[in-house]
Structure 1
Amino acid sequence: MPTPARPSSDGGSIRILKTTQILRAPIRRKMVDMAIRGADEGDIEGATYVKIRDYLVEINAITPRNHRAALARSPREPDPDDVWHVETVRKMLKSATTRGHLVKRDGTPVLTATGEPVLQGESLIDDQTWYDLQEALKQRHNGSSGVSKRKDAHPLLDVLICGICERNVHRHFVVERKGKRKGLRYENFRCTGLFHPVDDDGKRRGLSILADPVMGYVDEWFLSRFGDVRRTEVVTRGGVDNRSAITELEAAIANMGRNLAVVTGPAAELLVGQLNAMSQRLAVLQQHPYEPPRQEVVELPGTWGDDWRTADWEGRRAMLLSVGVRIKLGKLNGWRRAVGERLAFEVGHSATPAAKGEDAMQKLSWLPPHLGASTP
C-alpha cells in the first residue's frame, strides 16, 4: 500500500507518515485507560509513564510534533527521527485538551465570559474519567503507586514476607565459588535479619530460601485453593459524585478572586461576570455533592485458575494481592527442610501452615466477598 501524500503549497506533494492513519482519539483514550487501570488485565494500578511511552512506540503512533506537521495549514515534511518522550506522555495526560478545552501555554483552560471553558473540540473522555485520571497521576507523583523501585524487586514482593520481622524478603543471587558446581548462579529470596532478635551468640541471623521451589509451590498452592473458584467483579452502577467538580470550581473561583484584586475597567467587569456564573454553578453542585453508587457482584466467565494459568508472574502477583494472600517464610530448623514446611499462607484473616497439606487447605475456608463461590 503506497504511503499517502497530500499537496503542498507549491503544487508538489509532501509525504505523510503512515501512522497518520491511526485515529488520535482512540490512542489518547487508550493512554488514559492505561494510566488509570494498567496496561494488562489483572493489573492493580495504573501503568507508568514509561510503560505508556513504550506502548506508543510499539504501535508506531505518530508523535505530537509530526501530527502537527501533518495537519498544518501548509503541511510540513514529518521528522522520521522524532520519538516519544516520557515528559510528552505526562503533559498529554495532564492536559485539559483531552476534555476538548482550549488551553493556554501554561496549561490552564481559556474561559468564556460566563466562566465556562472554551471548547475547541469534542471531549474524548467524560468528567468522571478525567477526575479518576488526575487522581491516578497525583498518586503516582506522590510516590504512592505501590511500584517498587528496588533493583531486587521480584514477583512475590509484598506477598512473601519474613516470618520473624514480617518485612518483605528480597531477591538475592548466589554464585558457587568452588566444587563441581563452581560458577552456577542461584536465585534466593532473602531477609538480611537486620530487624531480627539477637541470638544467644549476639548475632542477628537472616533467612533465605531458593526462589524456584517457592515459585513452584505457590503455583501449586494457588491452583489447589482457588483454581475452581469463579472470578467475580464488583461493578458500580449509578451514583453521583460532584466532589471533584466542586473542588475544581472552588480553586478556580479562588484564583479568579485573586486576579480581580489587580485588574480594573472592562477586564474587572468580565471577571465579575465569570465569578458570578461560576458561583451559581458551584451552588447547584453543592446541593448534591455526593450520592453513593450501587455496587453489584458480577460473575465473570472464567475461574481464577483459568486466568492464573495464562498469566505471567507479574499478573499472578496481582491476583495474589487481590485475593489477600500473604506468605510467611519460617526458619530452616533442620537440614533440607521441605519448602512447604517453611511457608505459612494467610488468606484474608486466616493463617494456616502449608505443611499440613490438604487438611490445612480445608481450614482456609474464609473468602473475601468478591471471590464468589467454587464452581461445581
Structure 2
Amino acid sequence: MTVRRALLAERISYSRDEKSESIEAQDARMKTRAAEEAVRVVGVTADVSVSGDVDMFDRPALGEWLAVDKRELWDELWVTNQDRLSRSEPHFMSFVFKMLEWNKEIHVLDDPSFTEQMKTPEGRAILHVKSLGPHKELERIKQRIQDSHDRRRFSNRWAGGIAPFGYRIVHRYEDGKRCAYIELDEEMVVWLHRMRKWAIDNQAHSAIATNLNEAMVLTARDRARVARGMPTRSKAALRKGLEVSRELWSNGSVKAILTNEALLGFKKYKGEVLRDDAGDPVLISDPVFTTEEWEALQAAVIARSVTTARRTNRTNPSYGVAICSGCGSNGNHKVSHNRDGSVEYRYYTCGNWPNSNRCKRISCRAEILEETIEILFLQRFGHERVTKRVWVPGSDSAKELDQVEAKIRRLMRQDEEGDWEDNRAEYRQRIDRLRKRRDELKILPVVKSGWVEVDQGKTYAQLWATLDLEGRRKRLLESNFRMMIGEGTAWPEKVPMQKPMVIQGEVVSPEPKPAPAALVE
C-alpha cells in the first residue's frame, strides 16, 4: 500500500478586517486529520502575516516547497479551507492547473469534494465559482484598508515607517486607540543646524558626512533600530562579512536630508509633499528650519552643484584645474624619486592614460604648471577686491500671492462643478476673503531672494598668500581657470575667466532694499 505524503500549508494575514483561525488551530486540525487517515506529514509551511492576495509561489514558506527540488517530496497539499490557500481568483485557478500539471492533489478539510472537483472540467468550473467569494471579500478588505489610509492621509498623524532625521515617533491615545505622531528630536535638530551651517560655509557633502561619521552620529534608520531595542547595523559591512555597529553617512545621504522638505514639518506621500484641498502643505510637526533658513540652505546646496570637480585627493593640488590637452580628462599628479630617494620629482600626466594611447607622452613638470597658474591667476585677479557671497532672503509676499490665487482658481472650479450649490453663503465668504488678501499682497513690495557680493576688505593677491593648496584649488575652479597640459609644457585654456566667489554665508535679517547689480541668480 502506497503511503500518502502530505504537505500542510498554513497561512494567516493578521489583518484586523479578516476573521480567520490561528496558525495553531490550522496546524492542530490538519495534523489530527492526517493521523486519523494514516497520512505521513512530510512538511509544514506557516506563512505568518502573509496576505491571501500573495501568489503561492511568492510566499516565504510555501514557495520554498513548490520548487523543483522539494515538490517531489510530497503528493498532496493540505489546507483547512480555501481561503488559507488563496483569496485571489486568478492566483487560485492558476495554481489548480499547475497542481494538475504536476500530478498533485489539493485537499481542503472544510470541502471534501474539492479534490475530485479539480480533476474534471465541470468540477473546475464549480471551483472557479467558489473562488469568487473569497476574491470579492479580499477586494472589500482592500477597499476598507484603503479608505482608512485615505482618511488618515491628510491628518497630522504619522502613517508609519522610519521618521525623518530630526524627528522621533511618539504615541498618544485618542478615543481608546493608540495613534502615532512625530515630534522634533532636539539632539538631531542640533546636528541638522550644524549640517546647515557647514553647507552654508561651502563645505562639501563628503566633508559633512565625514564630520558626522567621526562624531558617530546615528542615521535615521539606526535611530529607529535603537528605539525598537534592536542593534544598529551596516548593510555594506554585512555584505562584506564585517561586524560594523552602525551605518555610515555618505554624500548621497547628506544631500537627501538637506533637501528633504519634511524638515519644514510637511507631510509627504510617495516622495512628494502632501497638500490639502486648498493646496497648502499638510503640516505634521514643527519645522526644523524657518523659511529663511531653508531657502538659504537650498541655495547653498544648488551652488555646490555648479562645479563637479570638488572632491580631491590631497596629493593632487590641481585636480580639476589641470586638463589633458589630448583627451580632455583631468590630469593626474605623479610623484617619483631617484634611486636613493634623495630627490623628488613631481609632474602631471593624462588621467585617462593608458586607456587613451594618444596621451602617452603628455606630461608636464608640476613646478612649471603650478608656477604658471599662480602668475596668470594673480595677473588676472590679484588687484581685484575679494567679495563674500551672502544670502538675502526675500519677502514671502510673492509666494503667498501665488498660493492665494491658486486657492481662488480652485474654489471657482469647484463652484463650476456644482460643489457649492448647497452652501452659497460660505462660498461667497471664502472667495471674498481670498480676493481681499490677494489685493493686499499685490501692493506689497516684492524683494527676491538671492546672493549678493559684500566686499571683504582685501585683494585676491592678499588672500592668495593666506590660502593652502586646497583653498587655492577652489578659487581656481570657481573662476573657471583651467590649464592644459601637453608634452613638457602647459598653457591656459582659451575660455572666459570669471571672478570667483570666495565664501558663502548669509544675512539673517537684511535691510529691505533693491538688490545690487552683482546679484547672483
- TM-score w.r.t. length of structure 1: 0.50
Residues 110 and 328 (structure 1), Cα distance of their counterparts in 2 relative to 1, 3 Å cut: closer
How far the C-alpha of 1:221 sits from its partner, in A, is: 6.3
Q: Distance in 1 between matches of 2:289 and 2:319?
A: 34
Give the match's secondary structure for 2:217. coil
CA contact (8 A) 1:172 1:190 kept: no
Q: Which residue of 1 aligns with 2:308?
A: 147
Q: Which residue of 2 aligns with 1:117?
A: 281
Query: Equivalences for 1:198-347 in 2 at 5 Å?
Result: 207-219=362-374, 230-235=385-390, 237=392, 239-240=394-395, 291-292=447-448, 297-300=453-456, 304-305=460-461, 307-323=463-479, 325-327=481-483, 343=491
Q: Distance in 2 between matches of 1:33 and 1:276?
A: 42
Q: Which residue, 200, 212, 221 being the options, matches 1:56?
A: 212
Report whether the alignment pairs 1:89 with 2:249: no
Q: Which residue of 1 aligns with 2:6?
A: none
Any idea what the Cα deviations from partners look like across 1:41-66, whole Å, max 9, x if unmatched? xxxxxx23x44322211222233245
**Number of aligned residue pairs:** 289
Residues 238 and 79 (structure 1), Cα distance of their counterparts in 2 relative to 1, 3 Å cut: closer
Q: Which residue of 2 aligns with 1:171?
A: 332
Letter in 1 for 2:474: A
Report whether the alignment pairs 1:98 with 2:263: yes
Letter in 2 for 1:233: K
Q: Which residue of 1 aligns with 2:347?
A: 187
Q: Distance in 2 between matches of 1:295 and 1:55?
A: 27
Give the match's secondary structure for 1:209. strand
Give the match's secondary structure for 1:231. strand
Any idea what the Cα deviations from partners look like across 1:256-291, whole Å, max 9, x if unmatched? xxxxxxxx9xxxxxxx9xx989x9789987887964
CA contact (8 A) 2:209 2:254 kept: yes
CA contact (8 A) 2:390 2:453 kept: yes
How far the C-alpha of 1:125 sits from its partner, in A, is: 2.3
Give the match's secondary structure for 1:187. strand
How far the C-alpha of 1:214 sits from its partner, in A, is: 2.5
Residues 318 and 245 (structure 1), Cα distance of their counterparts in 2 relative to 1, 3 Å cut: farther
Residues 166 and 298 (structure 1), Cα distance of their counterparts in 2 relative to 1, 3 Å cut: farther
Letter in 1 for 2:331: H
Q: Which residue of 2 aligns with 1:156?
A: 318
CA contact (8 A) 1:166 1:328 kept: no
Give the match's secondary structure for 2:270. coil
CA contact (8 A) 1:329 1:343 kept: yes
Larger radius of gyration: 2
Q: Which residue of 2 aligns with 1:18?
A: none
Residues 180 and 121 (structure 1), Cα distance of their counterparts in 2 relative to 1, 3 Å cut: closer
How far the C-alpha of 1:211 sits from its partner, in A, is: 1.8
CA contact (8 A) 1:227 1:305 kept: yes
Q: Distance in 2 between matches of 1:68 and 1:312?
A: 41
CA contact (8 A) 1:191 1:206 kept: no
CA RMSD, 1 decimal: 6.0
Give the match's secondary structure for 1:147. coil
Residues 108 and 254 (structure 1), Cα distance of their counterparts in 2 relative to 1, 3 Å cut: farther
CA contact (8 A) 2:322 2:485 kept: yes
Residues 276 and 321 (structure 1), Cα distance of their counterparts in 2 relative to 1, 3 Å cut: farther
Q: Distance in 2 between matches of 1:294 and 1:111?
A: 27
Q: Distance in 2 between matches of 1:155 and 1:244?
A: 44
Sequence identity percentage = 23
CA contact (8 A) 1:69 1:78 kept: yes
Residues 282 and 212 (structure 1), Cα distance of their counterparts in 2 relative to 1, 3 Å cut: farther
Residues 318 and 282 (structure 1), Cα distance of their counterparts in 2 relative to 1, 3 Å cut: farther
Gaps of at least 5 residues in structure 2 are 1-184, 234-244, 411-418, 420-426, 499-516
Any idea what the Cα deviations from partners look like across 1:315-344, whole Å, max 9, x if unmatched? 212212445544455775xxxxxx7xx545
CA contact (8 A) 1:22 1:61 kept: no
Q: Which residue of 2 aligns with 1:197?
A: none
Give the match's secondary structure for 1:31. helix
CA contact (8 A) 2:278 2:407 kept: no
Letter in 2 for 1:23: E
Give the match's secondary structure for 1:320. helix
How far the C-alpha of 1:309 sits from its partner, in A, is: 4.3
Q: Which residue, 181, 195, 207 being the options, matches 1:31?
A: 195
Q: Distance in 2 between matches of 1:76 and 1:330?
A: 60
Give the match's secondary structure for 2:262. helix
How far the C-alpha of 1:119 sits from its partner, in A, is: 3.2
Q: Which residue of 2 aligns with 1:335?
A: none
Residues 168 and 285 (structure 1), Cα distance of their counterparts in 2 relative to 1, 3 Å cut: farther
Gaps of at least 5 residues in structure 1 are 1-20, 40-46, 194-202, 256-263, 265-271, 333-338, 351-368, 371-376
Residues 89 and 134 (structure 1), Cα distance of their counterparts in 2 relative to 1, 3 Å cut: same
